[in-house]
Structure 1
Amino acid sequence: MKFVYRLAFASLILFTACKKEKSWDVDVKEQNVKLAIHDISQDFFNDSIPLVTLRKNYPFFFDTNSDEIWEAQRRDKKEINIYTKSRKIFGNFDQLNNSLVPVFQRYQYYFPEYKIPTVYTYSSGLQNLNYPVMFSQQSGLLFIAMDAYLGTKEKLYDSIGVDRYLRANMELDRLPSQTVDAIANDIVTFSPRNQLFIDHILYEGKKLILQDALLADTPDEYKLGYSPEQIQWCIDNEGQIWNFFVEQNYVFSSDVSLKKRFLDLAPFSKFNNEIEQNSPGRIGAWVGLQIIRQYLRENPKVELKTLLEDMDAQKIFKDSKYKPALEGKSGTVYTTKTINGKDYHFVK
Structure 2
Amino acid sequence: MKFVYSLAFASLILFTACKKEKSWEVDVKEQNVQLNIHDISQDFFNDSISLDTLRKDYPFFFDAKTADDVWESQRRNKEELSIYGQSRKIFGDFKNLNHTLIPIFQRYQFYFPEYKIPTIYTYSSGLQNIDYPVMFSQQSGLMFIAMDAYLGAKNKLYDSIGVERYLRTNLDLNRLPSQAVDAIANDVVTFSPRNQLFIDKMIYEGKKLILQDALLTDTPDEYKVGYTPEQIQWCIDNEGQIWNFFVEQNYVFSSDASLDKRFLVLSPFSKFNNEIEQDSPGRIGAWVGLQIIRQYIKENPKVELKTLLDDMDGQKIFKDSKYKPALESNNLANYTTKTIDGKVYHFVK
In which range does the TM-score fall when normalised by the shorter chain? over 0.9
Is the 8 Å Cα contact of residues 262 and 269 (structure 1) preserved in structure 2?
Answer: yes
Structure-to-structure mapping, 1:1-348, within 5 angstroms: 19=19, 22-63=22-63, 64-330=65-331, 333-348=334-349
Q: State the distance in 1 between where 2:247 and 2:181 align.
A: 31
Paired with 2:73 and 2:157, the residues of 1 have a C-alpha distance of 21
On the 8 A contact 1:90/1:146 being kept in 2, the answer is yes
> d(CA) in 1 for partners of 2:127 and 2:254?
37
Q: Which runs of 5+ in 1 are unaligned?
A: 1-16
Separation in 2 of the partners of 1:78 and 1:197? Answer: 44
Deviation at 1:331, TM superposition (A): 7.7
Q: Tell me the secondary structure at the aligned position of residue 135 of structure 1.
A: strand
Letter matched to residue 201 of structure 1: M
SS at match of 1:346: strand
Q: Is the 8 A contact 1:21 1:332 kept in 2?
A: no
SS at match of 1:153: coil
Alpha carbons 1:228, 1:345 under 8 Å: kept: yes
**Could you report, residue by residue, the CA deviation over 1:37-62 in whole angstroms, capped at 9, with x for unpaired residues?**
00000000000000000000000000
**Aligned-partner SS, 2:135:** strand
**Cα distance in 2 for residues equivalent to 1:184 and 1:56:** 30
Measured after TM superposition, the shift of residue 328 of structure 1 is 1.0
The amino acid of 1:266's aligned partner reads: S
Shift of 1:97: 0.6
Q: What is the aligned residue count?
A: 332
User: What displacement does 1:310 show?
Assistant: 2.4
Q: TM-score, normalised by structure 2?
A: 0.93
Structure possessing the higher relative contact order (Cα contacts under 8 Å, 6 or more residues apart): 2
Give the root-mean-square deviation of aligned CA atoms: 1.3
1:168-209 CA distance string (max 9 Å, x none):
111111100000000000000001111100011000000000
Deviation at 1:283, TM superposition (A): 0.3
How far the C-alpha of 1:234 sits from its partner, in A, is: 0.2
When structure 1 is superposed on structure 2, of 166-175 and 19-28 the one drifting more is: 19-28
Distance 1:310 1:235 in 2: 29
Deviation at 1:311, TM superposition (A): 4.5
Q: CA shift at 1:21, angstroms?
A: 8.4
Do the aligned partners of 2:236 and 2:332 also contact (CA within 8 Å) in 1?
A: no
Q: Deviations over 1:296-338 (max 9, x none)?
A: 0001111000000124111110000000000112287000001
Give SS of 1:249's match.
coil
Moved over 3 A (4+): 17-22
CA distance in 1, matches of 2:125, 2:18: 48
**Over residues 240-287 of structure 1, what are the superposed CA-to-partner deviations in whole Å (9 max), with x where a residue is unaligned?**
000000000000000000011001000000000000000000000000
| Distance (whole Å) between structure 1 residues aligned to residue 277 and residue 20 of structure 2 | 31
Deviation at 1:18, TM superposition (A): 8.4
Q: Deviations over 1:2-21 (max 9, x none)?
A: xxxxxxxxxxxxxxx98458
| Aligned-pair CA distance for 1:22 | 3.6
The residue matched to 1:114 in structure 2 has which SS? coil
CA contact (8 A) 2:221 2:232 kept: yes
Letter in 2 for 1:261: R
Distance in 2, matches of 1:209 and 1:269, equals 21
Separation of aligned partners in 1, 2:221 and 2:21: 14
Report the 3-state secondary structure (helix = DSSP H, G, I; strand = E; otherwise coil) of the residue aligned with 1:168. helix
AA partner of residue 313 (structure 2): D
> What is the SS of the residue equivalent to 1:203?
helix
> Structure 2: how far apart are the matches of 1:265 and 1:20?
34
Q: TM-score, normalised by structure 1?
A: 0.94
Distance in 1, Cα, partners of 2:92 & 2:140: 27
Partner Cα separation in structure 2 for residue 125 and residue 332 of structure 1: 43
Q: Distance in 2 between matches of 1:115 and 1:332?
A: 38
Contact 2:18/2:297, CA 8 A, preserved across alignment: no
1:118–1:141 CA contact under 8 A, matched in 2: yes
SS at 1:107 equivalent: helix
SS in 2 for 1:179: helix
Report the 3-state secondary structure (helix = DSSP H, G, I; strand = E; otherwise coil) of the residue aligned with 1:86: helix
The structural deviation recorded for 1:23 is 1.2
The amino acid of 1:328's aligned partner reads: S
Provide the identity percentage.
81
